[in-house]
Amino acid sequence: MVDPQGQAIKWIKNMEGRRGLKLIDLQQHDYLRTLENSIQFGSPVLLQNVQEELDPSLAPILNKAITKVGGRMLIKLGDKEVEYNTDFKFYITTKLSNPHYAPEISTKTSIVNFAVKEQGLEAQLLGTVVRKERPELEETER
């Protein structure tokens, strides 16, 4: 998610907070361990503040390289095979306002732009003011 104003992070925290959302950053020394535990136990993970390059260790997750062995679903993360829980969700955000990702990243992910332009903020503010001050005017617009 392209999130220069932090709106996507707030939305994800509200949506996934009850499920035990884990926040990680590529600068953390133990982010892979947190990711392994979340995959195994089915917790959502939010990877924040990525740049235009992603760590190659994330490739199995982005590729959904899940294998079935004896009825168990496994994913190889680094040098470990981790049992994959289907409740696991992985969110990635960047503060960059106009990132350029390699085609292989773009095809493996759904990129959502949460950036709000000044024009959009003006429209939201105008709608709120009209709704409060002149609700009958808002009804005629519909």
Pairing of strands 80-83, 72-77: antiparallel
The 10s digit of each residue's pLDDT in 107-140 is 999 989 988 777 777 887 888 888 888 877 766 6
Which residues, 6 or more positions from 128, have their beta carbon under 8 angstroms from its beta carbon?
Answer: none
* 95 closest CA partner among 122, 109, 114: 114
Looking at the fold, whether 97 and 134 belong to one and the same domain comes out as no
Q: Report the C-alpha gap between 12 and 89 in whole angstroms.
A: 11
Q: Is residue 2 part of a domain?
A: no
Pairing of strands 66-69, 80-83: unpaired
Domain count, the chain: 2
Looking at the fold, whether 18 and 48 belong to one and the same domain comes out as yes
Q: What is the pTM of this model?
A: 0.80
Looking at the fold, whether 88 and 126 belong to one and the same domain comes out as no
Query: Domain limits at 138?
Result: 115-142
The 10s digit of each residue's pLDDT in 52-61 is 988 889 999 9
